[in-house]
Amino acid sequence: MLVHPHSLTETPEMPPLDQPAPSPDLMSELLLGMRLRGIQYRRIQARPPFGLGFGARPGYAHFHFLATGTATLRTADGTLHDLRSGTAAFLPHAEAHQLLSAADAPVEDIANFSTAPLCDTVCAVDACTCPEAAPDTILFSGCMEFELGGMQSLVRLMPALMLVDALDSRHPGLMPILAAMEHEACAARVGFAGILARLADVVAAVIVRGWVESGCGTATGLVAALREPRLARAILALHRQPGRDWTVAELARESGTSRSVFAERFQATTGVPPLRYATELRMRLASQWLTEDRLPIEAVAGRLGYSSQAAFSRAFKRITGVPPGASRAGVAVGGV
């Protein structure tokens, strides 16, 4: 999660960025639209040798917390990561991966193990191959809904794996939370499953916040624009008023530069013209409001400033490839 600053090409009217991270206002705006909620958690106990396979879940995120013992996490590209007790792993793209006692351990899909319900969203999994032996590895794993609202495109820029532990000095606020998770997972007191689920949601949100605070990874596309103070001001204005009928000249005034310089710099940095970005932002929000919040199409159109439902529907289909009704029905939306 360490971020290396990247410089931007200097121009006379828009000086290069001095700081690698987004402004505090823009950072707050990014996190304001975040939705991160566990929909299925497992408390897993195991004893070596073990190999647990987790399938890909497009559109979601995976989370793991190692309460006791050690494990190796193998990502989809085959990279191995050694985990120690107290480590939390967040996989924002929910790619297929494995948790192993050793790199050569045989792997069984986690869905093949029998489960026992602990609460509405948490079940227990006993992955010990030897019933007589006490488990020395306890994991708390989950699948999460993960949305960043209008900034959903940032999710694609996140690394495949983010790791933190109680010794990580970059996240001092996580130490007591991870310690509490370790205690709850091991003690298994009354109500521990629900407490663990809520703590896991908090830890994952803190990991995402740390990534945003550290500058959102490599400075390409939208990330570079977020780091450029003048471009960031225009983007912040767009996100605060997505339903406004913006012009390039108005956005240039928000950034404090000329129309021509703003338009050229915006497209060079983000890869799209300003008004195309504004339309795609509206459609990302529309997709969320239609599918997650279940708002009527007419209400979404009005909220986003369209004079008629028909005009909104044409714009939505042009950007996403499907009409709003299909998006509500769960058809995959592309282009945003």
- List the chain pLDDT tens, one digit each, 336 residues: 333 333 223 333 333 334 445 555 666 666 666 778 889 999 999 988 899 999 999 889 999 999 999 999 999 999 999 999 999 999 999 999 999 999 999 999 999 999 999 988 899 998 876 666 566 899 999 999 887 766 666 777 788 999 988 666 667 778 889 989 999 998 888 889 999 999 999 999 888 887 776 666 654 566 677 777 888 888 888 888 888 999 999 999 999 999 999 999 998 888 889 999 899 888 888 887 888 778 899 999 999 999 899 999 999 988 888 888 876 665 444 444
Question: Which residues are paired to 54 by β-bridges?
Answer: 97
pLDDT at 187: 86
pLDDT of the residue at 293: 78
Would you state the pLDDT for residue 157? 75
Task: With CA atoms as reference, report the closest residue to 193 among 121, 245, 261.
Answer: 121
* Cα 140 from Cα 193, distance rounded (Å): 9
Residue 307: exposure state from Cβ atoms within 10 A (0-12, 13-18, ≥19): exposed
> What pLDDT, on the 0 to 100 scale, is given for residue 116?
93
pLDDT value, residue 95: 94
First to last CA, the chain: 25
**Biggest alpha carbon distance in the chain?**
74
Chain-centre distance for alpha carbon 228? 22
25, two tokens = 């206002």
Identity at 212, one-letter amino acid code: V
Q: Which of 159, 46, 151, 165 is nearest to 107 (CA)?
A: 46
pLDDT of 102 reads: 93
What is the model's pLDDT at position 118? 92
| Contacts (Cβ under 8 Å, ≥6 apart) of 230 | 14, 255, 256, 257, 262, 265
Respond yes or no on whether the N-terminal peptide bond of residue 49 is cis (omega within 30° of 0). Answer: yes
| Residue 10 Cα to chain centre, angstroms | 31
Other Cβ atoms within 10 Å of 164 Cβ, number:
21
